Amino acid sequence: MQHNIDVYNDYALRYADLVVAREKAGGEREHFTSHLLAAIGDVAGLQVLDAGCGEGYLSRILTRRGASVTGIDIASRLVEIARTKDPEGQITYQVVDLCKPLPEYQDHFDLVASFFVLNDVYDYQGFLATLASVTRPGGRLVFFMNSPYSYVMRGHLTDYFDTGKAFSYRGLAEAGVKVHYYHHTLEEYLDASLAAELQLQHLIDVPTPEGTFKRSSITLHPIGYHFPYFMILSFLKS
């Protein structure tokens, strides 16, 4: 199967419009963003990598909070949009495949943050290895992601252990952004992180109240039951 690793380029403008809607709906106070920011903590004075920055949503927030931010994404059209939203040039944006080595940033960043990206990456092992290599010893890496278990609960998967396949993000597809994710088990993600010599600090199950996820006729849990569809993984580089 051919993997289109920069598929967001095909839907850059529409995706950027969805992010604008998120910003207008709350920005830093938006439900998932606020959980990520709480896990990240104080960033003032830190060198921060926004890994998979897209059109710069998280980069702008972290810059306002006092970080020196580098935003990197493989989708050049999204990076172009990000630059237009940073007219003063406070943020360094680059178009780079983060699944490949990045020696110019070896041991450079105090913090790597990534918002809704890890599930989208086909070569997640290379991605995690690169991000570990650009983090300084003692630095942290924080990933906000769809819980791998949630794909079963959403009715997308019948076999949790059948991994590596691409699936459509149904909610985004309905909004005109026909991108995909790759299903991997939590065990696979953690094994890849340990192989990159990262130490797990926190695994946070993010509360997912009714209305913050896309429910359909095949969703397995009934209305009124609560399941964490999203999680945060926080690592330390020793």
In angstroms, the CA 229 to CA 214 distance is 10
Token readout for 16 is 């950027």
pLDDT recorded at residue 3: 64
Q: Which CATH number fits domain 7-146+186-210+232-237: 3.30.200.20, 3.40.800.20, 3.30.1360.40, 3.40.50.150?
A: 3.40.50.150
The pTM of the full predicted model, rounded to 2 decimals, is 0.92
pLDDT recorded at residue 26: 78
pLDDT recorded at residue 27: 79
Successive 10-residue mean pLDDT values, the chain, 238 residues: 74 92 84 95 98 97 98 97 96 98 98 97 97 98 95 84 89 88 96 98 90 72 83 97
pLDDT recorded at residue 198: 98
pLDDT recorded at residue 191: 98
| Nearest CA-CA partner of 41 in 125, 106, 97, 110 | 110
pLDDT recorded at residue 24: 84
pLDDT recorded at residue 155: 76
pLDDT recorded at residue 220: 66
Q: Quick check: 98 and 127 in contact, CB under 8 A?
A: yes
pLDDT recorded at residue 1: 43
Every domain of the chain and the residues it spans: 7-146+186-210+232-237
pLDDT recorded at residue 101: 97
